[in-house]
Structure 1
Amino acid sequence: MQFTTYQSDMTKSTTFQRDLSSNALKYIALIAMFVDHLVAGFIPQETYAGFVLRIPGRVVAPIFCYFIAMGYFYTSNVYKYIERLVIFAAISHFPYVLYFKLPWWKTTSVMWGLALGLIALTAVKSEKLSIYVKLALVFVCCMLAYPADWNYVAVLWIVFFGIFRGQFNKQIISFVFIGLFVHIIPEITRLGWHHAYQIGIFLAIPLLVMYKGRRGRKSNLLKWGFYVFYPLHLIILYFLKYYIFA
């Protein structure tokens, strides 16, 4: 991620004490995801504990959608970036459906939605495509993302985070609008009020506010660790669940 330039050493020192690096945000997201999936697998969602404990985990998808969108502008090869996401979407598929006891042919993990979101953003930012082709490709990506966790919501978040890059207020307004009218309200309408924990997506806003563009330490271990963690933690939780309930 791009480093923010500060006007003075004093401002720089003060800001860096208060901001979060991209690595820090990703660590927060990974921990929240692990806890959220642990709760989802072991505590009934209809209970008060299940409802409350799943709220913090809603920050995960917005954070990763944001970094997927920003990654588009900083990657040296967007097609290899897309390829990595597609590969890990394939790797993550069976750990995801096995852990959550879902039909393997009907649904898949959020990694697929993230890959399609990046494809949609790449199409939108292309100078070779007409506006009609861009809209058509975004629509196709949304439809293809429907079986994925976070479905076309992830695609739309990535596209609008990318469109409004550098305009944080517009990014947040679009994030809230999509989250509320495309995700939260339909989710509650379709599945009931015990899914109102989805309001937790708005907890991502203060975290993103604290991100000022600082990347943090760069290493291949961290780079690949963020990809590997997703299927790996599902495999660990699956065997933990199997061992406990066997």
Structure 2
Amino acid sequence: MTAQNTLARVRTALLTPAVFPEGQPRLKTNLDTNFLKLIAIISMFIDHIGGAFFPEVGWFRWVGRLAFPIFCYCMTVGLLYTRDIKKYLFRLGLFAVVSQPFYILAFHPHDFFAQFTNWNIFCTLFLSLLAMYGLKERKWWLFALAFFTVCWWNFDYSGTGVMLMLVFYLCRNRPALGAILYLLVMSPLHVHAGDPLNFVFGGLTLGWTFFVVFAMPFIFLRTNVHPKIPKWFFYAFYPAHLALIAILQFVL
């Protein structure tokens, strides 16, 4: 495949509206989003318990690597399916703001004001979705502004959320290509020597980010669980579990 053909395909994917023939799925990947969100919040909760109370115990963080890519994927599905993307963005932004003080109290309780601009993951997700909204609507200035903001300031995962959502969006009907690009974006084989969170088995050492690969089956393979969970539960869970961790920090 020539470089020109590759660029032409990318351009076509970017400019193709998210409108599909009636009766045809918009995505060939997993649409069981309530189940995916449930996996993501359980993974995130375990990760945050480890980060707050057991920072050098690796398995908490290994499990936690599933959360962010699954959240990014679910937002991509929302970008394609939601009836009102502006309301979706408003809800996400509202809970990002509400969660920020609880996030700082949970993870930086002794340095609250100095760490207040260490933005929580909902802020990253909000800007990532805003960037993708700009791309989908061809508001290139909005895409550039949101992407620059999330990369420049102190946002968890930086611009990785935007890049992941680009992969999920552009490869919405090419799961195999999406899986390959997912691995390239997440760089799961990168190892920081001596990191206590690394996975060591015999003579093999894997960086703890390797465990993002285990999010792939949930994203790229179909499941059929479809649990009945109110959508507000997923929003409310984030500040609620941070508040719980903050209270435990204070008590302990």
Smaller-chain TM-score bracket: 0.7 to 0.9
CA 188–143 in structure 1, closer or farther in 2 if over 3 Å, else same: farther
Q: State the number of aligned residues.
A: 212
Shift of 1:235: 0.3
After superposition, residues 41-60 of structure 1 pair within 5 angstroms as 41-45=52-56, 50-60=57-67
Residue type of the partner of 2:236?
Answer: V
Report whether the alignment pairs 1:225 with 2:233: yes
Which position in structure 1 is the counterpart of 2:167?
160
Segments of 5+ residues of structure 1 without an aligned counterpart are 7-18
Q: So what's the TM-score if we normalise by structure 1?
A: 0.76
8 Å Cα contact 1:184-1:199 kept in structure 2: yes
**Residue 91 of structure 1: how far off its partner (Å):** 0.8
Aligned twin of 1:239:
247
- Contact 1:20–1:210 (CA under 8 A) maintained in structure 2: no
Match among 214, 220, 232 for residue 209 of structure 1: 220
The one-letter amino acid of 2:44's match is M
Q: Cα–Cα, structure 1 residues 149 and 184, in superposed 2: closer, same or farther, change >3 Å?
A: farther
Q: Which residue of 1 aligns with 2:195?
A: 193
Aligned pairs for 1:90-105 (under 5 A) are 90-101=97-108, 103-105=114-116
Question: What percent identity do the matched residue pairs reach?
Answer: 28
TM-score (norm 2): 0.74
Question: Per-residue deviation at 1:40?
Answer: 0.9
Partners of 2:130 and 2:166 lie apart in 1 by 9
1:89 to 86, 91, 96: 96
- Provide the secondary structure at the position in 1 that maps to 2:65: helix
CA distance in 2, matches of 1:82, 1:88: 10
Distance 1:160 1:138, change over 3 A: farther
Deviation larger for 80-89 or 170-179 = 170-179
For structure 2, the residue ranges without an aligned partner over 5 or more in a row are 1-22, 198-206
Q: Distance in 2 between matches of 1:20 and 1:66?
A: 10
Structure 2: how far apart are the matches of 1:140 and 1:56?
32
Structure 1 counterpart of 2:147: 142
RMSD: 2.8
1:111 pairs with one of 118, 122, 147 = 122
How far apart, in 2, do the equivalents of 1:118 and 1:170 lie? 22
Change (3 A) 1:75 1:199: same
**1:217 Cα deviation (Å)?**
4.8
Bigger share in helix: 1
